């Protein structure tokens, strides 16, 4: 009957219980629920502020522009050619 046979599910459940232990399996549901709630909350906070952009540090008037010196590795240079 394939993977939907009840015998296969019993074997899978026994193996999972032996590998993870029953204490970790008891906390799996609540932990997963809290993770999903946190993810949804973060997504809703991001959607509520779509017009805001991150602020860039401001320079003092009359000061020269800042220069950032970076050295690229050979892999980065080759990746840019493709």
Asked if residue 67 belongs to a domain, the reply is no
| Local confidence band at 78 (pLDDT 50, 70, 90 cut-offs) | low
- Using an 8 Å Cβ cutoff, are 21 and 14 in contact? no
| Local confidence band at 55 (pLDDT 50, 70, 90 cut-offs) | low
Asked if residue 40 belongs to a domain, the reply is yes
Asked if residue 58 belongs to a domain, the reply is no
Q: How far is CA 74 from CA 68, 70, 82, in A?
A: 19, 13, 13
Asked if residue 66 belongs to a domain, the reply is no
Asked if residue 16 belongs to a domain, the reply is yes
Asked if residue 62 belongs to a domain, the reply is no
> Which residue range forms the structural domain that includes residue 17?
1-48
- Using an 8 Å Cβ cutoff, are 17 and 9 in contact? no
Domains in the chain: how many in total?
Answer: 1
Q: How far apart are CA 42 and CA 35, in angstroms?
A: 11
Asked if residue 42 belongs to a domain, the reply is yes
Q: What is the token pair recorded at 45?
A: 């906070």
């Amino acid at each position: 009957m394939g993977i939907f046979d009840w015998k296969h599910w019993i074997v899978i459940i026994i193996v999972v219980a032996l590998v993870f232990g029953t204490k970790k399996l008891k906390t799996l549901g609540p932990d997963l629920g809290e993770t999903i709630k946190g993810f949804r909350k973060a997504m809703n906070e991001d959607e509520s502020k779509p017009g805001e952009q991150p602020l860039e540090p401001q320079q003092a008037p009359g000061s020269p522009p800042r220069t950032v010196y970076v050295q690229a590795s050979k892999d980065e240079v080759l990746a840019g050619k493709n």
